[in-house]
Structure 1
Amino acid sequence: MEKTTPSLPERIHVVIPLFNDWPAVALLLERIRAVTEPTLLSRLAFLIVDDCSAVNYDTLPSGIGQSLSILRLYRNVGHQKAIALGLAYLADQPDQYPVIVMDSDGEDRPEDIPHLVQRGFEKPGHVVFAHRAKRQESLVFRLFYAIYKSMFRLLTGKVITFGNFSFVPAAQLRKLAHISEIWNNYPGGVIRSRLPYTAVPLERGRRLAGESKMNFVSLVLHGLSAVSVLIETTAVRLVLFCVIMVVASVFSIGLLFYLKFFTNTSIPGWTSYLVVSFLIVILQAFLISLLLVFIVLSYRTQPQFIPARQFRDFVDKLEKVY
């Protein structure tokens, strides 16, 4: 039997977080118009989440897709929080439609939008991420990114090979907007939410205009925010590591005492310093474990920020461009 392709929904929202990148987003919209098939293009409704930019746009392209709106925020909240606010705003609307999340700089290629949508049809109910099969960054960046992925897997037990570029089905939008963890890190929040998700391998593009606002500090903070979303799993793994260190230290001290008192093996004079060092390791492991327990307990008892409930506190106005 011939496989039928599901029809496109009447609207697909495109959430684009932005901070001062108006020239790049203008080129991005023009690129979307140039490469997107007309049937799909006519369904797209663009929502730029302006993260309290210091400058405003001069002109923006018109007549691309169904509409173009700008969600103005009262203050700068950062890239991940801007995405959460955009999703929460759309989840608050009476009618629910699928949402594509993409960056404003062009590194999320417009050519790949159909692939995300098609994968969403193949995996109904799944959040579909763009897995970066090929990256355009420098060797140093790719090296640190590989270290980040390895550390993330070691600390959380999860594999993360994707960023923000994604397709959210309409059925999952309101659920996603009620997940507090997307406030800190959008992809990490989806992982933590246990909502079904999948990924499609896509190439990362190049920035269309301007320079990236991300520096080394920003990248480190972004990585830490992803790990913090899974703080409970991370804490358990760190506590287990501390337990292993304590067991190894106790075993080493016991071995040294055994060699000293029950064998004729000559013990060097620095053995006492070694025993003291192992005792310090045991004390530090205990204190770290205790600190992690208090952090997790504090995390569980403090009220969580739910984007769907509190997004209005950050939204200044919705500006219709067309």
Structure 2
Amino acid sequence: MLRLNLVIPCFNEEEVLPETTRQLLAQMDRLLADGAIGPESEITFIDDGSRDRTWQTIESLHAADPRVRGIKLSRNRGHQNALLAGLMSVQGDVVISLDADLQDDVGAIPRMLEAHRDGADVVFGVRSCRVTDTFFKRFTAQTYYKVLHSFGVEILPDHADYRLMSRRALDALRDFREVNLFLRGIIPLLGFRTAIVKYERNARFAGESKYPLHKMLAFAFDGIASFSSKPLQWSAYVGACISVGALLIGLWAIFIRLFTNLSVPGWASTVIPMYFLGGLQLLFLGVIGGYVAKIYSETKQRPRFIVETTL
């Protein structure tokens, strides 16, 4: 029988952890009764430097049921690093990662295990609809997936980090050493047989989202910069468009100067080059700076996470 491990990153999730644990343990009991998993199966919470009582809650849950385990990171390292810490640290024949807020439907776990028994090393949980999202979040998410595809990034639309991975897939993931993690783009590169399980995403059970807009934007740029150099190439195209626009403005200024009395002496020769060169330089420096920052963090090769305590 399979030894299953459920890996759940947590950041300030004390409100939802008791209910999450209750539902996951009930699901594991049903799977154990059906013979789908073995009795050594576990739930592992990864505390990503929480500032509330998340770790104390995990300790209480572990004391109540030894199948609940915990890994405490020494400081906040972000969702992707916390998830990687769990994936690289836990035991098990198969590992399923999911969020702590119960938005990922735990009822999809049996179907994931069935897909694994049919030969899939990676099973992606994919949302069947986005009705629980606001219009803004739904629109930006759909646009983001399209942008990633246009950049040549292999990513599955409407898939977050709800997935099953076999031990073979986890061992292959261990060979990816990059510091700037974007697991949604890395895991499709493993090349093993995959499957998709559709599920309806629930509303958050308690607490608030740990991904405000600025973190979502940073995560979005990580996905692009980690897998595509096309933004650097597109800078040249944008520069060409700006050059054409500046040329048209220049022709307009010449027309005003020669055929009307509305021109201000020296305005065209000063303003047009300043706006043109300033805008172009800032644009290119911003794109190049983003890539240089990624190179800088990769060359330092600092640890992606440090474990302080385990249960």
Would the TM-score normalized by the shorter structure come out above 0.5? Answer: yes
Distance 2:117 2:229 in 1: 34
Q: Does 1:146 align with 2:105?
A: no
Distance 2:190 2:278 in 1: 37
Which structure 2 segments of 5+ residues have no match? none
Partner of 2:31: 37
Which structure 1 segments of 5+ residues have no match? 1-8
Task: Note the C-alpha offset of 1:306.
Answer: 6.6
When residues 314 and 167 of structure 1 are mapped into structure 2, their CA distance, relative to the original with a 3 A threshold, is same
Task: Note the C-alpha offset of 1:101.
Answer: 0.5
When residues 232 and 215 of structure 1 are mapped into structure 2, their CA distance, relative to the original with a 3 A threshold, is same
Task: Note the C-alpha offset of 1:152.
Answer: 5.1
Q: Residues 164-210 of structure 1, C-alpha deviation per residue, up to 9 Å, x if partnerless?
A: 1111222121232342457543324435x564566433210233344
Residue identity in the other structure for 1:49? I
Distance 1:251 1:128 in 2: 53
Q: Does 1:134 align with 2:117?
A: no
Q: Residues 133-174 of structure 1, C-alpha deviation per residue, up to 9 Å, x if partnerless?
A: 2235353xx423422441453264445421111112221212
Partner of 1:165: 162
Q: Does 1:242 align with 2:238?
A: yes
The question of whether the paired residues in 2 share the 8 Å contact of 1:259 and 1:267 is answered with yes
Distance 1:118 1:157 in 2: 31
How is 1:82-121 mapped onto 2 (pairs within 5 angstroms)? 82-90=82-90, 97-121=93-117
Q: Percent of aligned positions with the same letter in both sequences?
A: 19
Partner of 1:296: 291
Partner of 1:68: 68
Q: Does 1:26 align with 2:18?
A: yes
When residues 296 and 60 of structure 1 are mapped into structure 2, their CA distance, relative to the original with a 3 A threshold, is closer
SS at match of 2:49: coil
Residue identity in the other structure for 1:200? V
Partner of 1:52: 49
The question of whether the paired residues in 1 share the 8 Å contact of 2:2 and 2:36 is answered with no
Q: How many residues align?
A: 295
TM-score (structure 2 length as normaliser): 0.74
Residue identity in the other structure for 2:170? L
Q: Residues 14-59 of structure 1, C-alpha deviation per residue, up to 9 Å, x if partnerless?
A: 1111124245232223223434433235463221112233311174
Q: Does 1:318 align with 2:305?
A: no
Distance 2:301 2:226 in 1: 14
Task: Note the C-alpha offset of 1:72.
Answer: 1.6
TM-score (structure 1 length as normaliser): 0.72
RMSD: 3.9
Q: Residues 268-291 of structure 1, C-alpha deviation per residue, up to 9 Å, x if partnerless?
A: 846986784476235522453255
Task: Note the C-alpha offset of 1:106.
Answer: 0.8
Distance 2:241 2:152 in 1: 20
Q: Does 1:281 align with 2:276?
A: yes
Distance 2:119 2:247 in 1: 51
When residues 258 and 52 of structure 1 are mapped into structure 2, their CA distance, relative to the original with a 3 A threshold, is closer
Give the counterpart of 1:175 among 169, 172, 175. Answer: 172
My pick for the range that moved more, 9-18 or 98-107, is 9-18
Q: Residues 231-255 of structure 1, C-alpha deviation per residue, up to 9 Å, x if partnerless?
A: 6343333x14423424533653686
When residues 111 and 302 of structure 1 are mapped into structure 2, their CA distance, relative to the original with a 3 A threshold, is closer
The question of whether the paired residues in 2 share the 8 Å contact of 1:28 and 1:110 is answered with no
The question of whether the paired residues in 2 share the 8 Å contact of 1:16 and 1:104 is answered with yes
SS at match of 2:36: helix
